[in-house]
């Protein structure tokens, strides 16, 4: 996709850093409000269903993807299990073929989409920090548990015999003249010794990340 075509498909409503306020109605009934922030090729929308409702934050990526902020990180729009805002806020982030845009001398002034009407009530310049637009994808639970279990169970070492631990002789470093693979035993002893030193830290991290159990006393 050429840069020109991408710009057409993923155009933001305002090309300079701005902060605009929007009212949302459906059938003449209030349905919330949106604060729209634009930066340099970045965009963020904050939706509230009512003045006391929690804010739902939508973020626009440079590739035209829309993300929604959730606890633990941001998720793509398709994975967001929100309410009707999922259908009418994205057209404020990027132009949408399904929406009708009405402009005035300052730019987009009204957006009609899926039965909702979003009207701009104010527009001002903005100096919002770039951190407001940063997208931080949520890590999958599986990858997080894999990392934590890796810390707890110790590193995998292909040089250590799978049965060496079962053939241990009870005293670290002891070798008998019985034909046993005591080099393998010594290798697993050294590995386990290094792992044990990190056990407390690994358990503490597991408890903190997973929010389960109690910390291990040292």
Does residue 145 share a domain with residue 126? no
pLDDT (0 to 100) of residue 80: 95
pLDDT (0 to 100) of residue 177: 55
Of 133, 159, 191, the last residue of a domain is 133
Does residue 7 share a domain with residue 56? yes
**Residues 110-119 as b or e (16 or more Cβ within 10 Å = b):** ebbbeebbbe
Residue 1 has pLDDT above 70, yes or no: no
pLDDT (0 to 100) of residue 201: 66
| Whole-number Å distance between alpha carbons of 200 and 150 | 14
As a whole number, mean pLDDT of residues 197-217 equals: 57
pLDDT (0 to 100) of residue 159: 46
**Domain of 79, in residue numbers:** 3-133
Does residue 145 share a domain with residue 99? no
Establish if 216 belongs to a structural domain: no
Does residue 185 share a domain with residue 113? no
Establish if 218 belongs to a structural domain: no
Residue 182 has pLDDT above 80, yes or no: no
Does residue 168 share a domain with residue 110? no
Domain total in the chain: 2
Q: What is the 3-state secondary structure (H, E, C) of the chain?
A: CCHHHHHHHCCCCCCCCEEEEEEEEECCEEEEEEEEEECCCCEEEEEECCCCCCCEEEEECCCCCEEEEECCEEEEHHHCCCCCHHHHCHHHHCCCCCCEEEEECCEEEEEEECCEEEEEEEEEECCCCHHHHCCCECCCHHHHHHHHHHHHHCCCCCCCCCCCHHHCCCCCCCCCCCCCCHHHHHHHHHHHHHHHHCHHHHHHHHHHHHCCCCCCCC
Of 90, 107, 133, the last residue of a domain is 133
Global pTM reads 0.62
Band (61; pLDDT cuts 50, 70, 90): confident
Residue pointed to by tokens 């899926």: 114
Residue 89 has pLDDT above 70, yes or no: yes
Establish if 120 belongs to a structural domain: yes
Mean pLDDT of the chain: 77
| Whole-number Å distance between alpha carbons of 188 and 160 | 6
Does residue 120 share a domain with residue 205? no
Does residue 171 share a domain with residue 111? no
Residue bearing the bigger pLDDT, 208 or 23: 23
Does residue 202 share a domain with residue 157? yes
pLDDT (0 to 100) of residue 5: 36
As a whole number, mean pLDDT of residues 1-13 equals: 54
Of 80, 105, 133, the last residue of a domain is 133
* Joined tokens for residue 5: 């075509």
Establish if 57 belongs to a structural domain: yes
As a whole number, mean pLDDT of residues 32-58 equals: 95
Band (11; pLDDT cuts 50, 70, 90): confident
Residue bearing the bigger pLDDT, 130 or 203: 130
Does residue 145 share a domain with residue 108? no
Band (179; pLDDT cuts 50, 70, 90): low
Does residue 117 share a domain with residue 22? yes
Residue 216 has pLDDT above 70, yes or no: no
Does residue 115 share a domain with residue 30? yes
Question: Which of 137, 133, 135 minimizes the C-alpha distance to 41?
Answer: 133
Does residue 101 share a domain with residue 22? yes
pLDDT (0 to 100) of residue 195: 53
As a whole number, mean pLDDT of residues 3-27 equals: 78
């Amino acid at each position: 996709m050429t840069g020109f075509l991408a710009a057409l498909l993923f155009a933001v409503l305002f090309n300079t850093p701005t902060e605009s306020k929007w009212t949302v109605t459906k059938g003449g009934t209030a349905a919330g409000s949106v604060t729209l922030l634009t930066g340099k090729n970045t965009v963020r929308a904050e939706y509230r269903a009512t003045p006391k409702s929690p804010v739902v934050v939508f973020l626009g990526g440079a590739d035209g993807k829309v993300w929604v902020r959730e606890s633990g990180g941001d998720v793509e729009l398709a994975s967001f299990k929100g309410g009707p805002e999922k259908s009418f806020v994205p057209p404020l982030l990027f132009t949408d073929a399904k929406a009708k845009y009405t402009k005035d001398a300052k730019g987009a002034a009204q957006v009609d989409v899926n039965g909702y009407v979003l009207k701009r009530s104010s527009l001002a310049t903005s100096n919002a920090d770039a951190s407001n637009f940063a997208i931080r994808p949520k890590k999958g639970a599986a990858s997080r548990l894999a990392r934590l279990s890796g810390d707890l169970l110790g590193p995998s070492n292909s040089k250590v015999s799978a049965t060496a631990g079962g053939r241990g002789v009870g005293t670290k470093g002891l070798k008998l003249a019985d034909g046993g693979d005591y080099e393998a035993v010594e290798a697993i002893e050294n590995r386990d010794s290094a792992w044990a030193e990190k056990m407390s830290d690994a358990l503490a991290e597991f408890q903190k990340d997973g929010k389960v159990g109690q910390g291990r006393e040292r």
